[in-house]
Amino acid sequence: MAGNPPTAEPQWRAAHVAYFGDDTDQLILRAVRPVIERCAAHGAAAHVLRHWRRGPHLRLVVRATPAVFAEVVEPAVRELIGGHLRAHPSTAPAPDEDALLPLHRRLAEAERETGPLTPFSPDNSITWEAHDRRIDVLGCPVGADELALFYERTNDLLFEHLEAVAAGLPRETLALRLMLATAHTLCRHPQDPSIRRGFVSFRSHAEGYLSTAGPRARQGFEQRYAANRAVLTAQVRAVVAAFDPVPPGPVPTGPVPPGPGLPSTDVPASGTSGAAALAEPGGAATLHRWVAAIDPLGSRWTALYEAGEIPEAEIPDDEENGIGGLLSASPLHRAISDSPTYKRMMYRDPRFLRYRLMLNYTYLHLSRLGLPGLSRYLLCHLAADAVEEVYGVSALQLVLATAENTGTARGPETEEAKETEESEESEETDESGGGAPRAVAVPARTRG
């Protein structure tokens, strides 16, 4: 009697959905989400990414057996996504491929994208391709598995956040709150497990960009902070109050003036403590759900790292690390370069490696949310300035204190140093266009 044929192994494939218009959020909510839900009902893992190569498009990434692809996934894509494109097609003008090519070449080099840059796919088209899991960038298959798991587990949060944006919450406000919540709850510094340590990563990330972007960019960032100072410090107080019983620092009185892109209508000027400090949408409950979703992934990573499943990379020199060009313009990165002890801690301490992974995941989520890369740098700068003002701390002084105590094996100041290491996102990004968290498998770059 012949035995049953072996079950075909699952495969990774991606539907590339070209869409040049501005209504990508609704394409995700109305068409991609039901496809992902249908996939999940049949045991297929799926998530959606935004990407730029060969024109702006979405990538619906699916892991399923050939039978499930043929019987469930492909028909769902034709019916739901294809139907949406027919009913609500993008009518935007086609991007100028020649004009964009120099930028895309730079992006491809920075992100280690080896695929073709042109021609752009036709608007409103759907093409299936084998999915590149970018194991060479992430460092190992386990790292790629963990990244895919992160995307899958945060699908529902992505949809929730896009719905909040559609309801009127500015995308930048939501992004800022998620960043602050991650830094406050997940840095877990042994001396002060709060945003007073976690924020230094934001400063490093912003300085990595501003140190090479020129004085006009820095001036623009500083002007944005000055114009939104009261709103930004209120955001810090409200996010911290959503997790802590007592708000930090002195509590301002009177109304909080609005600022462009960061309205304060749902941020009480009183800094009311507890979960009521932020009103929905995008409020305290949203932030608690975010932390609850990604924190267990950090625990998984730590267990894999300590079991040797995630390889330990060599500690890179400044050029390999991507900060060689920053040393003349960035005192913060110069302090990093001058401290071997500091560097060893950045690349060997499981606590910090876990925190960096959480930041990288947050940045990747912001890319899925549709936040441009430049906006991420701006938000890092604004967040760092606001935290420094609320708490009376200085990221640079913390780093300099570390550099002056490199002979100490593990003291309070040396612990500060590790918070300057953040996402390598400006240098290497994953298939979504956001930062590839090389911390999943190998140390990330020190540059922002």
Q: Is the pLDDT of residue 7 over 70?
A: no
- What percentage of the chain carries pLDDT values higher than 70? 73
> CA-CA distance, 256 to 263, in Å (whole number)?
9
- The predicted-structure confidence for 154-192, as pLDDT tens digits, reads as follows 999 999 999 999 999 999 999 999 999 999 999 987 778
Going by C-alpha positions, the residue among 270, 262, 253 that lies closest to residue 231 is 262
Q: What is the mean pLDDT of the chain?
A: 82
> CA-CA distance, 261 to 204, in Å (whole number)?
23
> CA-CA distance, 434 to 105, in Å (whole number)?
16
- The predicted-structure confidence for 48-61, as pLDDT tens digits, reads as follows 999 999 999 999 99
Q: Among 93-97, 199-203, 347-351, 408-412, which stretch is predicted with the lowest mean pLDDT?
A: 408-412
Confidence of residue 437 (pLDDT cuts 50, 70, 90): very low
- The predicted-structure confidence for 99-118, as pLDDT tens digits, reads as follows 999 999 988 988 889 999 99
Q: Is the pLDDT of residue 425 over 60?
A: no
> CA-CA distance, 383 to 240, in Å (whole number)?
13
Task: Give the burial class of 50: count Cβ atoms within 10 A of its Cβ; 0-12 exposed, 13-18 middle, 19 or more buried.
Answer: buried
The per-residue DSSP string of 249-289 comes to SPPP-SPPPP-TT---TTS-TT---SGGGSPSSSSHHHHHH
Q: Is the pLDDT of residue 252 over 80?
A: no
- Residue indicated by tokens 């752009």: 120
- Residue indicated by tokens 């800094």: 271
- Residue indicated by tokens 């990434």: 61
The per-residue DSSP string of 227-256 comes to HTHHHHHHHHHHHHHHHSSS-SSPPP-SPP
> CA-CA distance, 380 to 386, in Å (whole number)?
10
The per-residue DSSP string of 326-346 comes to GTTT-HHHHHHHT-HHHHHHH
Q: Is the pLDDT of residue 442 over 90?
A: no
Going by C-alpha positions, the residue among 169, 179, 227 that lies closest to residue 206 is 179
Q: Is the pLDDT of residue 278 over 70?
A: no
pLDDT at residue 90, rounded to an integer: 98
- 8-92 CATH fold: GMP Synthetase; Chain A, domain 3 (3.30.300)
Rounded mean pLDDT, 379-403: 89
pLDDT at residue 318, rounded to an integer: 62
- Residue indicated by tokens 């919450």: 169
Higher pLDDT, 254 or 105: 105
- What percentage of the chain carries pLDDT values higher than 90? 60
Task: Count, in order, helices (H) and strands (E) of the chain.
Answer: 22, 4
pLDDT at residue 160, rounded to an integer: 97
Q: Is the pLDDT of residue 266 over 70?
A: no
Q: CB-based contacts of 314: which residues, under 8 Å, 6+ apart? A: none
> CA-CA distance, 232 to 386, in Å (whole number)?
6
Q: Is the pLDDT of residue 25 over 50?
A: yes
Confidence of residue 350 (pLDDT cuts 50, 70, 90): confident
pLDDT at residue 431, rounded to an integer: 32
pLDDT at residue 433, rounded to an integer: 34
Q: CB-based contacts of 40: which residues, under 8 Å, 6+ apart? A: 46
- For 176, the token pair is 């800022």
Confidence of residue 311 (pLDDT cuts 50, 70, 90): confident
Domain residue limits, the chain:
8-92, 152-440
Q: Is the pLDDT of residue 17 over 70?
A: yes
- The predicted-structure confidence for 75-96, as pLDDT tens digits, reads as follows 999 999 999 999 999 999 999 9
> CA-CA distance, 352 to 354, in Å (whole number)?
5
Q: Is the pLDDT of residue 397 over 80?
A: yes
- The predicted-structure confidence for 187-244, as pLDDT tens digits, reads as follows 987 778 899 989 989 998 898 889 888 899 999 999 999 999 999 999 999 999 999 9
